Structure 1
């Protein structure tokens, strides 16, 4: 199965995502998505900080547990079906793919777990769900590596707050993957991903979660088709800059205004801009701030797109403009 087909299927398969910290004692969970909560019955607050072994039970095969333990200790991939138990004690077969996310020296810093419940009809054969998970793993592993390397570089004391932002970032990735399905349905008329539609959906989610009463949000977004890599990077950039505006522009202010624009440039490429009428950037403050996870991520994404980021300090508020050249948007 090719990557496009795998990502198409991703939107049809409920995929649980788990991240564990390979450097901490007992490899604890640092993140689970909502699909994990729905599949297992455990809330995020109940599992973060614990080792995944709580999913095992009386009839879990010891040989399967040994395979998992061995792969984790050796820092390598592993795929297997294992009997796990939900929070209410109900057993279920869990198709698990675990892959390391490594630093520049190839040492595991996190483990990515992708999980899907296996039903009776799938137990005797690999089934489409297995193909989807295997093909999807590489893409998710690559994209999460981009995010998690920034978390690892800010230091352990700042990591907890960084993981609070992880849900928003992974939701952006999932929206990008789901956009492949829409592109496949539209066929030759739309050879790439509609970045305008993707950014619109992701921005609406950011505004919903990060906004507050009194702060008005508007957006103006052009339709345009781009490849998957550009779509992921531009959408993550938008999410970081927009969330930053909501978080920091209106401290101790009762109202305000945030505007997002995504426009085609006459000379080619695109311009992404986020403006606000809030407090504005302090005179000597760098943007993006290289000492934060978000700042490091923005710098990495801008570099990967060969883009130009320009923060403009106005009399009131801030405008952040990001120009992406046309050669990075080829399908």
Structure 2
């Protein structure tokens, strides 16, 4: 009893053998916590500490535990003698005699008000943080929508401008006598057209940062097949749906256009029949492209000092930090290209102009 009396932990004993289970002992720490004197507490039930903000559900749980003689740990709002409230964290346990009969209920208590104030402050801070995050998210979403709309508009205008340039080149080519100049104009118009297709697709998709290579390839191959004799030259394509960055869209489109159109034009001279296959798949190294034909091969091509198709392709592959392998496969030509899918940062600085090619391939 001396140890309990001197303990800094508030403690109280009640006697369930007496009417209304009254308080029969309390230590000085309990008196200090509640502000009551012993004369105020002696013979009264602990419910005297309850008030308007005391949770009735917690009170029912406490009463039920006392009724059946079960220990309980609970926190509820109590009131001091001066009317101020505090959160009381208590452990209530029955005390039994040698026969097992409950002779007292013992309760150790603690002022949990600081803990609850901290929880309320944390909850308020969390609510405020969530509100600010929601506001900033809304602002970022609005900014992203504006940026997306701007990029769509840019792609749309670039596409229109490229179409105009391509049309002007084609018009000039038609009015130019047959020869190298006319062929050069025709080739440049087609390259510009390929770039225009890229911007059209970027403009038409919801995500302006990504480009579906298969969608472009299907569109390009359809246009390519429409302009050739299908009975003499067969073109097939097997392109995986690979999303690449918008920065890679134009270089990849230009590379695919250059290799495929060169194969159509130069692999099968003198009305020779043949087949061209185009594949693009995702690999461990990134994007693997393969363009192959069963034509006359690299060695069979006629010298063309004005041609620069091969140099153009190799320059694009370098820009994409890729690797290209040209092979004579007897019959035909095989071009295998591997580029990393994260090649979004193209080289900056001045690129050396492609040198004149001595083969049309």
Map 1:57-136 → 2, pairs under 5 A: none
CA RMSD of aligned residues (A): 3.4
* Structure 1 CA distance for aligned equivalents of residues 279 and 272 of structure 2: 24
Q: Which has the larger radius of gyration?
A: 2
Q: What is the match of residue 297 of structure 2? A: 280
Q: What is the match of residue 219 of structure 1? A: 237
Offset of 1:46 from its aligned partner?
9.5
Q: What is the match of residue 32 of structure 1? A: 168
Offset of 1:161 from its aligned partner?
2.3
Change in Cα spacing, 1:191 to 1:275, as seen in structure 2 (3 Å) is same
2:327 aligned with 1:318, yes or no?
A: no
- Number of matched pairs: 196
Change in Cα spacing, 1:329 to 1:291, as seen in structure 2 (3 Å) is same
1:178 counterpart (187, 200, 205): 200
* Structure 2 CA distance for aligned equivalents of residues 275 and 165 of structure 1: 21
Offset of 1:210 from its aligned partner?
4.5
Offset of 1:229 from its aligned partner?
2.3
2:273 aligned with 1:255, yes or no?
A: yes
Map 1:237-252 → 2, pairs under 5 A: 237-252=255-270
2:164 aligned with 1:17, yes or no?
A: yes
* Structure 1 CA distance for aligned equivalents of residues 226 and 258 of structure 2: 14
Q: What is the match of residue 168 of structure 1? A: 190
Give me the TM-score of the superposition, normalised by structure 1.
0.51
Map 1:138-157 → 2, pairs under 5 A: none
- Residues 276-331 of structure 1: CA distance to partner in whole angstroms, max 9, x if unpaired? 11112217999xx885232332122112111111112112111111111233159x
1:304 counterpart (319, 328, 333): 319
Q: What is the match of residue 76 of structure 1? A: none
* Structure 2 CA distance for aligned equivalents of residues 199 and 181 of structure 1: 17
Offset of 1:8 from its aligned partner?
4.9
Structure 1 SS opposite 2:291: strand
CA contact (8 A) 1:16 1:33 kept: no
CA contact (8 A) 1:11 1:181 kept: no
Change in Cα spacing, 1:171 to 1:196, as seen in structure 2 (3 Å) is same
- Residues 207-243 of structure 1: CA distance to partner in whole angstroms, max 9, x if unpaired? 3225553111111000011122211111110111111
CA contact (8 A) 2:285 2:338 kept: no
Structure 1 SS opposite 2:219: helix
Q: What is the match of residue 153 of structure 2? A: 6
CA contact (8 A) 1:280 1:314 kept: yes
